[in-house]
Structure 1
């Protein structure tokens, strides 16, 4: 069973498997209602919609980034409410080259759930293959609101030891003067250089970070590059660094997971995530900011 990517043909052959859950995580950072509208206009049959703003992020404080991670217990309860158990195979898809689907992939691995894959090519590939489209939103209709299960205190059975690791802002700050790992920023090059900043109040990047825009992981048709190509590109970027010494970040912890998935596809395992990313980092004016090239 794949734990990175799945093809449209393979997913289409799983419709009769009750142990498969498909999640639609289409989203637009500039129009937060766009993903749900798209889901209601048509989705993969049986897919359930999850919202990156209201369900896959914890409350924002102004200091914890734009998409702070919920607790592992809250996330596990959310997925259990959608019928995901330890043996469920989960497939995530979006219409943005896999950036939101990769975030869901990472989240489940953070819960210790290995049986999860991203639909390669996403919604566009599904439509392009002429596969069935549903307008039935019933799978989401009877679920409780996020607040109803956010108070759950007992660890759900979905929880297991994490398969991925995180670092926090304090660790990233300490790393600047005493380097133990290398930060890779998944944002576009002009945002990394500090030339533009459409999302956050401060432009620039974390001092010492390297830049790998997540779009470089894709072919022109929106599918991921072949494993050998990704391996060659990341190996060149890492410059001899071990994958376990890499920490990925982006604007708010979402597109960084695209780079994490790409490294996993390439067989370069063990990199970590800074979930708060730039939106958390720049919320504290005492933290240093770099501009220009790495």
Structure 2
């Protein structure tokens, strides 16, 4: 399972099959929630539409559920149909480089049952480096009917996480930086550390020195300490940076990989839940 495509592949696809191809720009900054949309308006890949992490790919935070809960999936499916994406559409998603926001949309579409979703390897930067066109033109969209077919087994909630940690029936990994995992720094939440039992795999570890996606052999080596027969639950801070690890694990041949959407921000919203600071 390889979902990363090159700028040349996308350019050829847009030339040969423009009506069967959708391009989605997901650029976003956690420190400036308007930055991604502004960047899109200043220039984007031809035919690209923009989807926003907070407005399109997440629900509003509540007391529990994490800081980027999954969106209402029926509303999400309606938005996908409204931007012209049907089940037969080939979708290519990009970020500025290879970032977590494109992978979040990839996971949402995969969870909703879409079979033809890809990531532009290297993002907009790689596209521009090849000398390909960038435009400010907003595409005209023709709505279609997208009917989701949910893969419910692709996610878990906090009760499942607790149960599977207790009976050791799954391996939990934390995708945040090592400093956040160890509680040495925490820029976003009131508590620092990680869910007890979680192992650390920084999400940026799935990219090579050039910032491109590692191939399947390299990813298999990266996750070599994990058992492919085990259930792997992937977490992060709020279910966003976990998504590159989910995609990478699937690419490496792990078949039982699930996302914990609420992740650490959901875990610490329950006062009784303990956190760990030591390496697991």
Structure 2 counterpart of 1:231? 220
Q: d(CA) in 1 for partners of 2:147 and 2:72? A: 13
CA deviations 1:255-288 (Å, max 9, x no partner) are 1110011112222233000001111111111112
Q: Does 1:242 align with 2:229?
A: yes
Match 1:159 to one of 145, 148, 163: 148
CA deviations 1:59-99 (Å, max 9, x no partner) are 22132211110233222111001111110111110024231
How many residues matched?
A: 277
Q: Does 1:267 align with 2:253?
A: yes
Say whether the 8 Å CA contact 1:247–1:273 is kept in structure 2.
Answer: yes
Say whether the 8 Å CA contact 1:3–1:116 is kept in structure 2.
Answer: no
Q: Does 1:216 align with 2:205?
A: yes
Q: d(CA) in 2 for partners of 1:161 and 1:170? A: 20
Say whether the 8 Å CA contact 1:105–1:117 is kept in structure 2.
Answer: yes
Let me know the Cα RMSD of the aligned residues. 1.8
Q: d(CA) in 1 for partners of 2:266 and 2:97? A: 23
Task: Tell me by how many angstroms 1:172 deviates.
Answer: 1.2
Map 1:31-110 → 2, pairs under 5 A = 31-110=32-111
Q: Secondary structure at the match of 2:256?
A: coil
Task: Tell me by how many angstroms 1:138 deviates.
Answer: 4.6
TM-score (normalised: structure 1): 0.89
Say whether the 8 Å CA contact 1:21–1:90 is kept in structure 2.
Answer: yes
> Could you say if the C-alpha distance between residues 139 and 29 of structure 1 is closer, same or farther in structure 2, counting changes exceeding 3 Å?
farther
Q: d(CA) in 2 for partners of 1:128 and 1:189? A: 31
Q: Which runs of 4+ in 1 moved over 4 A?
A: none
Structure 1 counterpart of 2:276? 290
Unaligned ranges ≥5, structure 2: none
Task: Tell me by how many angstroms 1:139 deviates.
Answer: 4.5
Q: d(CA) in 2 for partners of 1:157 and 1:215? A: 32
Unaligned ranges ≥5, structure 1: 144-155
Say whether the 8 Å CA contact 2:228–2:255 is kept in structure 1.
Answer: no
Q: Does 1:12 align with 2:18?
A: no
Q: Secondary structure at the match of 1:235?
A: coil
Q: d(CA) in 2 for partners of 1:96 and 1:12? A: 17
Say whether the 8 Å CA contact 1:113–1:158 is kept in structure 2.
Answer: no
Task: Tell me by how many angstroms 1:54 deviates.
Answer: 1.1
Q: Does 1:280 align with 2:280?
A: no
Q: d(CA) in 2 for partners of 1:279 and 1:172? A: 14
Q: Does 1:173 align with 2:162?
A: yes
